Chains A and B, each alone.
Chain A
Amino acid sequence: MASTPAEYIQHHLQNLTYGKLPAGYERADGSVLDQATWTIAQTGLEARDMGFMAFHLDTLGWSLLMGAIFILLFRSAAKSATTGVPGKLQNFVEMCVEFVEGVVKDTFHGRNALIAPLALTIFVWVFLMNSLKWIPVDYIPGLASLLGLPAFKIVPTADPNGTFGLSLGVFILILFYSVKVKGFGGFSKELAFTPFNHWSLVPFNLFLEILGLLTKPLSLALRLFGNMYAGEVVFILIALLPFYVQWTLNVPWAIFHILVIPLQAFIFMVLTVVYLSSAHEEHH
């Protein structure tokens, strides 16, 4: 276990990584691998050395769990959906659906059966993943270390892989609908001839537009990640204080997150809808 504050913080920000270590790699315990091995990283350094060929088991596991909760909850409400007097669960689910539908209707003016369910999934799923922050920082990682796991981080949105994974999906959809609606030529033309409609400025336009295009998923992912990560760090810092004063900072910070957590989920959803809406619209 970590002993110094720096180690404690680093330990809490380390994901449980399962990845491939190359042959001849000297592991943290001094042993040397005679061939490339898939294994769980014992230290942050090992996790870093795994490079791209690695999975964050905790991020994947918790995000899948949250997604499953979302799906099961909403599916059970959808299955027993009645046109009569709705039950409590159905009421709640309908409230969410109505809220998302309202946002989508205000922002997105095309006809697309995907956008609203997409927005609902993003909103609820991101909200659930964010809400894992309310669990005190040491509870689940502590439990995990009792089980012998070297590191554990439960908030998937405080892992850039989690948020970039989402925004990558959104980015693919932006590209897909841009091409689908405007055609490949139309989309290319839009990239090449806006904002300055002159052939001599095509390279400049391309640079500007592609940068703008790439900024969309980047800003989506980084906004969510930054907020969640920073909040997480503050929670960890508070956890370093003596236990009898922690509540004076912990409680206000958690209450503040009643605002932050839904807000970030909402922003992610709205921006997704806005980006997809602009992918559907012709620029003039």
Chain B
Amino acid sequence: MNINLTLFGQTLAFAIFVWFCMKLVWPPITAAMAARQKKIAEGLDAAGRAQQDLKLAQDKVSNTLRETKEQAAQIIEQANKHANAIIEEAKQQARVEGERLVAGARAEIEQEVNRARDQLRNQVAALAVAGAEKILESQVDAKVHNELVEKLASQL
């Protein structure tokens, strides 16, 4: 319980420890704490911004989706129109072709008829000539009477 030099030894040790703490302990720790605080604040900030960005992106996505849907609807409509047009055109073509075929057939038929008529006429002329030969009992010169026969035949 005696007061002695220990007193000053203790004070000296105290001073050294305080100095050491002030120089080498306190500043790095408080600096690290402050830096972390800043980092956390920045992180929270970034998170807030990211949330905002996400919201914007979501809005954008829904917008794009809507536009795309509209476009798709337009395309489908156009395609339908196009298809209808093609069908109409095909129908038109078919009709024209049909008419052409019919016209061709008709012309052919007419040709046949004309040919048959010519044949018939010729045969009738021959028959008439033969008939007339029989009637006249004389030889009719085909070459001489050809004009006559032709005229007769054309009247048929």
Using a CB–CB cutoff of 8 Å, the interface residues on chain A facing chain B are 13, 15, 17, 19, 47-48, 50-56, 59-60, 63-64, 67, 70-71, 74-75, 77-79, 81-84, 86, 90, 93-94, 97-98, 101, 113-114, 116-118, 120-121, 125, 156, 159-162, 164-166, 168-169, 172
Residues of chain B within 8 A (CB-CB) of A67 are 13, 16-17
A60-B10 contact given A47-B2, A78-B28, A101-B30, CB 8 Å threshold = yes
A159-B6 contact given A121-B17, A169-B11, CB 8 Å threshold = yes
A161-B26 contact given A19-B4, A125-B17, CB 8 Å threshold = no
Residues B4 and A120 in contact, CB atoms below 8 Å apart: no
Which residues in chain B, 1-47, are within 8 Å of chain A measured between CB atoms?
1-11, 13-18, 20-22, 24-33, 35-36, 39
Residues B25 and A71 in contact, CB atoms below 8 Å apart: yes
Residues of chain A within 8 A (CB-CB) of B13 are 60, 63-64, 67, 165
Residue of A nearest to B40 (CB): A83
Chain B min CB distance to A136 (Å): 22
Residues A55 and B17 in contact, CB atoms below 8 Å apart: no
Chain B min CB distance to A49 (Å): 9
Residues B6 and A83 in contact, CB atoms below 8 Å apart: no
Using a CB–CB cutoff of 8 Å, the interface residues on chain B facing chain A are 1-11, 13-18, 20-22, 24-33, 35-36, 39
Residues B10 and A162 in contact, CB atoms below 8 Å apart: yes
Please, how many angstroms separate the alpha-carbon atoms of A118 and B23 in the complex?
Answer: 11
Please, how many angstroms separate the alpha-carbon atoms of A157 and B24 in the complex?
Answer: 25
Residues of chain B within 8 A (CB-CB) of A71 are 17, 20-21, 25
Please, how many angstroms separate the alpha-carbon atoms of A121 and B25 in the complex?
Answer: 10
Residue of B nearest to A163 (CB): B10
Count of CB-CB pairs between chains A and B under 8 Å: 139
Residues A52 and B8 in contact, CB atoms below 8 Å apart: no
Residues of chain A within 8 A (CB-CB) of B10 are 59-60, 63, 156, 161-162, 164-166, 168
Q: Is the interface of B mostly helix, strand, loop or mixed?
A: helix
Residues of chain B within 8 A (CB-CB) of A125 are 14, 17
Closest 9 CB pairs of A and B: A165-B10, A161-B6, A81-B32, A117-B22, A83-B35, A78-B28, A117-B26, A54-B4, A56-B6
A97-B17 contact given A47-B2, A165-B11, CB 8 Å threshold = no
Please, how many angstroms separate the alpha-carbon atoms of A54 and B20 in the complex?
Answer: 27
Please, how many angstroms separate the alpha-carbon atoms of A215 and B32 in the complex?
Answer: 39
Residues A117 and B14 in contact, CB atoms below 8 Å apart: no
A81-B29 contact given A60-B6, A165-B6, A168-B7, CB 8 Å threshold = yes
Residues A114 and B3 in contact, CB atoms below 8 Å apart: no
Please, how many angstroms separate the alpha-carbon atoms of A118 and B30 in the complex?
Answer: 14
Please, how many angstroms separate the alpha-carbon atoms of A117 and B24 in the complex?
Answer: 10
Residues B4 and A166 in contact, CB atoms below 8 Å apart: no
Please, how many angstroms separate the alpha-carbon atoms of A262 and B132 in the complex?
Answer: 162
Residues A83 and B30 in contact, CB atoms below 8 Å apart: no
Please, how many angstroms separate the alpha-carbon atoms of A129 and B21 in the complex?
Answer: 17
A83-B39 contact given A74-B21, A77-B29, A166-B10, CB 8 Å threshold = yes
Given A60-B10, A97-B26, list of 16 further CB < 8 A pairs?
A47-B2, A55-B6, A59-B6, A59-B10, A78-B28, A78-B29, A86-B36, A97-B29, A101-B30, A117-B18, A117-B21, A159-B1, A161-B10, A165-B13, A169-B11, A169-B18
